[in-house]
Structure 1
Amino acid sequence: MQHIKNIIFDYGNVIFDIDFKIAQASFAKLGVADIENFFAHKSHNQLFDDFETATISPAEFRAGIRKAANKPDLTDAQIDEAWNSLLIGTIQQNHDLLLKVKEKYRTFLLSNNNEIHYDWIINYLKTTFQINNYDEYFEKAYFSQHMKLRKPNTNIFEQVLKENNLNPAETLFIDDSPQHIEGAKKVGLNTLLMTEKPAQLQAFLKANGIL
């Protein structure tokens, strides 16, 4: 990776553990049917895309879950608990690692996210690591709900490249989703598919010549 000067990291299952199966089980318990088509790693209901691009509000998202579960009496707390159940956590070593990588490369975070998850994560970082946000760990952290764009669409990658004057030929994108990797390739980015758990991020970067 001699020619790489910039790295764009995904967040979920690259830096931070998430488990789609847990969320699937949680939604199923709420009454959502055909859960594999409703919400999975590689495909999901349009409701989730709309929420990740802030096309709909948290209240509208929750209304969509109530409709899918056919339970209009579900509380906000029940829905949020089910939705946030996929968020597992991260380790201090990954934060230390990100600072180390930042010394060698220009680094960025690019995450498909949403308001409910974002608020949970920020609270988790504050209470667990005394971290307010990721500003210290990347040159800039990008979240889909703030950009109103999401991966794997090429326009989200193009915006990050343009705003930071990045040459895609010198930029590496790391993600755990094959469909996101394909979107990145379309704009000329170098890519690595994360095949390890976030706890193995350092070993994964070393194995691929990043460290």
Structure 2
Amino acid sequence: MIKTIVFDFGDVFLTLDKSATGKHLKENGISELDVELVKINNAYEKGMVSSAEFIHCYTKRFNRLTTETFKTAWNSILIEFPEHRLKFLKKLKAEGNFKLILLSNTNELHINWVKENISVYEEFRSCFDQFYLSHEIHFRKPDASIFEFVLDQNGLKPDETLFVDDTLEHTLTAQKLGIRTWHLQAGQEEVTELFSKKSDLF
């Protein structure tokens, strides 16, 4: 029986356009990210690099980028928070049948944008018993360590825990640890369909 549900944030609750940042960077002459920049991005998601250092890595490397053009490009992935998803979460919280945890790969620039532009963010955050952001806990998906951290911190049994994420690689790691999963197909499925899509678990 599922006792805890662990939700991703982006493309589960917050709608993303995952191609937007790449398009914006391309407009500024950056066609693809090399291995070094991918490492920097991952380090930033783990909170190992400050926002100022992160921005400087890009503006120093690509002189067509200013701080503002980079921030606009970086945050362009973030779109909106549909009301029906919050309504679903609030109902889930009010019913009190499950421990609710958020587990998101994110970073300070993205979260600052969300706080400034998504009016329901604090209401959303208050629905969770635990709220884990990768840059605050210094772990990131799909590393097994982030799931082990959540299980240990909350005394969870993997087979009583459901993890909902739109990225297959993340759900595969969770499965290896015995966690139940739903690989949500963003754009084709809605988190509000949880109990019909995964009825076998409830």
TM-score (structure 1 length as normaliser): 0.85
**Counterpart position of 1:96:** 87
Q: Supply the distance in 2 between the matched residues of 1:198 and 1:138 (Cα, whole angstroms).
A: 25
Q: Secondary structure at the match of 1:173?
A: strand
Task: Report whether the alignment pairs 1:112 with 2:105.
Answer: yes
Task: Report whether the alignment pairs 1:155 with 2:145.
Answer: yes
Q: Supply the distance in 2 between the matched residues of 1:194 and 1:165 (Cα, whole angstroms).
A: 25
Task: Kindly state the Cα deviation for residue 7 of structure 1 after the two structures are TM-superposed.
Answer: 0.5
Task: Report whether the alignment pairs 1:58 with 2:56.
Answer: no
Q: Supply the distance in 1 between the matched residues of 2:103 and 2:124 (Cα, whole angstroms).
A: 11
Deviations 1:96-148 (A, max 9, x none): 1112223221111000000000101112233xx3x435432111110000001
Q: Supply the distance in 1 between the matched residues of 2:149 and 2:32 (Cα, whole angstroms).
A: 35
TM-score (structure 2 length as normaliser): 0.89
Alignment root-mean-square deviation, CA: 2.1
Contact 2:86 2:124 in 1 (8 A): no
Q: Which moved more, 1:56-65 or 1:146-155?
A: 56-65
Identify the match of residue 25 of structure 1 among 20, 23, 29: 23
Total equivalences in the alignment:
198
Task: Report whether the alignment pairs 1:142 with 2:115.
Answer: no
Kindly report which structure 2 residues correspond to 1:8-19, keeping only aligned pairs within 5 A, or say none: 8-19=6-17
Task: Kindly state the Cα deviation for residue 67 of structure 1 after the two structures are TM-superposed.
Answer: 4.3
Contact 2:142 2:173 in 1 (8 A): yes
Aligned residues: percent identity?
Answer: 30
Q: Secondary structure at the match of 1:45?
A: helix
Q: Supply the distance in 2 between the matched residues of 1:28 and 1:157 (Cα, whole angstroms).
A: 34
Deviations 1:26-47 (A, max 9, x none): 1111221235x67xxxxx8112
Task: Kindly state the Cα deviation for residue 63 of structure 1 after the two structures are TM-superposed.
Answer: 1.8
Uncovered stretches (5+) of structure 1, i.e. residues with no partner: 39-43
Q: Secondary structure at the match of 2:90?
A: helix
Identify the match of residue 49 of structure 1 among 28, 42, 45: 42
Contact 1:125 1:133 in 2 (8 A): no
Contact 1:8 1:108 in 2 (8 A): yes
Task: Kindly state the Cα deviation for residue 79 of structure 1 after the two structures are TM-superposed.
Answer: 0.8
Task: Report whether the alignment pairs 1:125 with 2:118.
Answer: yes
Q: Quick one: which amino acid aligns to residue 76 of structure 1?
A: T
Uncovered stretches (5+) of structure 2, i.e. residues with no partner: none
